[in-house]
């Protein structure tokens, strides 16, 4: 086989992501359904309400104007808000589409009713038109999300050696089934091996660390983002977090990002508080059986107290007493004092393991929410002893206290207990910088999924402190390493 034929074979064997191509398919369907949802909705409406024939010569010209207006408004709004589920998330994209489509359809048809062109019954046409659009688009999005998840994720990591290996350990241990790390390229003295431009073809996901030098970040972000067949992830800094999603403006011809405050304003806080109270009362009523049986089992187990109260910090570092169902032994901290929970922690009781894994132990925190100490969604409430240490290590930690602590939060549903506090802080700051009500609803939706995940309830893992060689041996993974990169054999021994 000639050299040219070998190169052609390698190109044919290139592993590509289908995420970006699928996003193009989604955009095409948004246009297609935006156009045809109107006549489909009218057809269904005529079956339901036969009072007026919308396809008659009298009504069709006027409805055609509405058709064009609705189509243009739908497409403009969906694309303006970048409402693509593969990047924005299925839940967020669907909620946004529901709001946009119903507002647009009802606005146009209400105008017809107000000017006396059609009777009030035409509002039904609006709801069915929007319903057709949402139903079909959601089905398409679900299919595209499933196809994207089926596509195997093979990753290449670029970064300084220590940082790159730390991230690789986390991915190899916690997400091996979802994303497989094949190559880890090191930055040595500001340089990365040119071999990366050959090896990246064997991967469909590129992970770029923010700890690279500026020149390399710029070089690799521009290079890999120019490829529609690769997913590119940038592990961001605290500074970059507050830039995400903000308005771009020009100051004396210099591209600038207008910043939102890293706080929730008075109106947002008031709306959040109202939702907290209503939702907490509903949860309290629905969880009545838990309040009856869990205390009984805890009492029968060791005769100790049912509830566990502990001082935690909330907004502006204000102290309050958090309430939980007790999941540890009564004497858990008599020896050694305050400690972070660990994997297979001997202090946790048998029943405690169950209620921690299912998050049932946190249900009494609803009382803290009703009292106003906490919110349903927010950063994890931490102990003063730990916060004191965290602040010494990272002064930026104080900014997570710009909002109330939460029963659940973006960090809690996105990380495990053994995620580092620096990484957890990034999630908390991202949440505060990008807060809105839909984001809160999205986090509550993810919380249900998280409750079913055992890994989220585990304690701190000690495996990540092991040398890379020993870590890989425990995972039964073979690899080759030189001073420039690591090549992981994706087949376990």
Q: What angle do CA 304, 305, 306 make, to 5 degrees?
A: 115
- Residue 187: pLDDT band (50, 70, 90) is very high
Domain around 286: 266-461
Helices (H), 303-456: 350-357, 365-371, 384-393, 410-414, 421-433, 437-451
Asked if 164 and 108 sit in the same domain, the reply is no
Q: Is 277 exposed, middle or buried (0-12, 13-18, 19+ CB in 10 A)?
A: middle
Asked if 104 and 33 sit in the same domain, the reply is yes
Average pLDDT over residues 473-480: 82
Q: Given 133, 149, 165, which residue is the final one in a domain?
A: 149
CB 428 within 8 A of CB 400: yes
- Percent with pLDDT over 90 in the chain: 40
Asked if 340 and 468 sit in the same domain, the reply is no
- Residue 327: pLDDT band (50, 70, 90) is confident
Q: Within a domain: residue 411?
A: yes
Asked if 314 and 222 sit in the same domain, the reply is no
Q: Given 108, 126, 149, which residue is the final one in a domain?
A: 149
Asked if 339 and 470 sit in the same domain, the reply is no
Cα(475)–Cα(483) distance, rounded to whole angstroms?
22
CATH code (residue 158): 3.40.50
Q: Within a domain: residue 14?
A: no
Asked if 428 and 298 sit in the same domain, the reply is yes
* pLDDT per position as a tens digit, 373-410: 999 999 999 999 999 999 998 888 999 999 999 999 99
Q: How many CB atoms lie within 10 A of CB 319?
A: 10
Q: Within a domain: residue 260?
A: no
Q: Mean pLDDT of all residues in the chain?
A: 84
Which residues have C-beta within 8 Å of that of residue 381, sequence separation ≥ 6? 312, 313, 314, 322, 374, 405, 406
Token pair for residue 476?
């039964």
Token pair for residue 259?
């910043």
* CA dihedral of residues 242, 245, 247, 249 (deg, nearest 10): 70
Q: Within a domain: residue 9?
A: no
pLDDT for res 8: 47
Q: Within a domain: residue 480?
A: yes
pLDDT of 370 over the 50 cut: yes
Cα(332)–Cα(308) distance, rounded to whole angstroms?
11
Domain count, the chain: 3
Q: Within a domain: residue 360?
A: yes
pLDDT of 325 over the 70 cut: yes
- Longest distance between any two alpha carbons in the chain, whole Å: 86
Cα(205)–Cα(15) distance, rounded to whole angstroms?
9
Cα(253)–Cα(171) distance, rounded to whole angstroms?
42
Which residues have C-beta within 8 Å of that of residue 172, sequence separation ≥ 6? 181, 471, 472, 475, 477, 488
Asked if 31 and 165 sit in the same domain, the reply is no
Average pLDDT over residues 163-176: 82
Q: Given 149, 166, 181, which residue is the final one in a domain?
A: 149
Dihedral pair phi/psi, residue 229, rounded to 5°: -100, 10
pLDDT for res 484: 82
Q: Within a domain: residue 409?
A: yes
Q: How many residues does the chain have?
A: 493
- Residue 446: pLDDT band (50, 70, 90) is confident
Asked if 468 and 449 sit in the same domain, the reply is no
Cα(378)–Cα(316) distance, rounded to whole angstroms?
13
Q: Within a domain: residue 331?
A: yes
pLDDT for res 248: 62
pLDDT for res 491: 67
What is the model's pTM? 0.73
Asked if 429 and 283 sit in the same domain, the reply is yes
pLDDT of 226 over the 60 cut: yes
Question: Is residue 15 helix, strand or coil?
Answer: coil
Asked if 431 and 282 sit in the same domain, the reply is yes
The percent of the chain in helix, strand and coil, each rounded to the nearest 5, is 55, 15, 30
484: which strand partners?
Answer: none
Q: What angle do CA 290, 293, 296 make, to 5 degrees?
A: 135
325: which strand partners?
Answer: 307
Asked if 399 and 277 sit in the same domain, the reply is yes
- Residue 2: pLDDT band (50, 70, 90) is low
pLDDT for res 179: 84
Among 123-132, 301-310, 375-384, 415-424, the range scoring the smallest mean pLDDT is 415-424
Q: How far is residue 199 CA from its own chain's centroid?
A: 29
Cα(23)–Cα(312) distance, rounded to whole angstroms?
43
* pLDDT per position as a tens digit, 69-118: 999 999 999 998 888 898 888 988 999 999 999 999 999 888 888 887 77
Asked if 294 and 411 sit in the same domain, the reply is yes
Sign of torsion, CA 34 39 42 44? negative
């Amino acid at each position: 086989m000639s050299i040219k034929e070998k190169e052609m074979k390698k190109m044919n064997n290139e592993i590509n992501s289908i995420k970006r191509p699928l996003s193009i398919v989604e955009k095409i369907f948004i246009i297609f359904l935006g156009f045809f949802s109107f006549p489909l909705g009218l057809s269904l409406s005529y079956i339901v309400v036969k009072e007026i024939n919308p396809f008659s010569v009298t009504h069709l010209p006027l409805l055609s104007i509405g058709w064009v207006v609705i189509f243009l408004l739908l497409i403009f709004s969906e694309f303006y808000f970048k409402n693509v589920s593969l990047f924005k998330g299925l839940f967020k994209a669907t909620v946004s589409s529901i709001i946009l489509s119903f507002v647009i359809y009802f606005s146009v048809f209400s105008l017809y009713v107000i000017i006396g062109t059609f009777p009030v019954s035409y509002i039904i046409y609006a709801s069915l038109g929007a319903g057709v659009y949402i139903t079909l688009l959601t089905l398409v999005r679900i299919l595209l999300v499933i196809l994207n998840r089926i596509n195997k994720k093979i990753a290449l990591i670029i970064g300084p050696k220590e940082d790159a290996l730390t991230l690789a350990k986390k991915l190899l241990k916690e997400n091996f089934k979802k994303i497989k790390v094949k190559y880890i390229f090191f930055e040595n003295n500001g340089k990365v091996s040119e071999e990366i431009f050959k090896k990246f073809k064997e991967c469909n996901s590129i992970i770029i660390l923010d700890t690279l030098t500026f020149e390399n970040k710029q070089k690799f972000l521009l290079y890999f983002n120019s490829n529609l067949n690769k997913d590119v992830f940038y592990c961001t800094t605290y500074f970059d977090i507050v830039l995400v999603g903000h308005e771009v403006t020009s100051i004396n011809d210099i591209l600038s990002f207008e910043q939102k405050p890293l706080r929730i304003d008075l109106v947002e806080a008031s709306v959040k508080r109202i939702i907290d109270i209503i939702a907490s009362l509903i949860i309290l009523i629905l969880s009545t059986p838990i309040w009856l049986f869990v205390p009984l089992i805890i009492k029968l187990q060791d005769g100790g107290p049912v509830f566990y109260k502990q001082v935690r910090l909330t907004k502006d570092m204000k102290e309050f007493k958090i309430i939980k169902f007790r999941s540890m032994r009564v004497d858990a901290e008599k020896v050694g004092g305050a400690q972070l929970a660990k994997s297979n922690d001997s202090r946790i009781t048998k029943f405690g393991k169950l209620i921690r894994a299912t998050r049932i132990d946190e249900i009494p925190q609803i009382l803290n929410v009703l009292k106003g100490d906490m919110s349903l969604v927010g950063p994890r409430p931490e102990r003063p002893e730990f916060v004191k240490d965290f602040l010494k290590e990272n002064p930026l930690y104080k900014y997570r206290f710009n909002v109330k602590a939460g029963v659940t939060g973006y960090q809690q549903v996105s990380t495990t207990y053994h995620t580092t506090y620096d990484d957890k802080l990034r999630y908390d700051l991202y949440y505060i910088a990008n807060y809105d009500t839909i984001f809160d609803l999205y986090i509550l939706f993810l919380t249900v999924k998280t409750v079913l995940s055992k890994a989220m309830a585990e304690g701190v893992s000690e495996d990540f402190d092991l040398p890379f060689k020993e870590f890989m041996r425990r995972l039964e993974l073979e690899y080759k390493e030189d001073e420039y990169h690591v090549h992981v054999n994706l087949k376990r021994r």
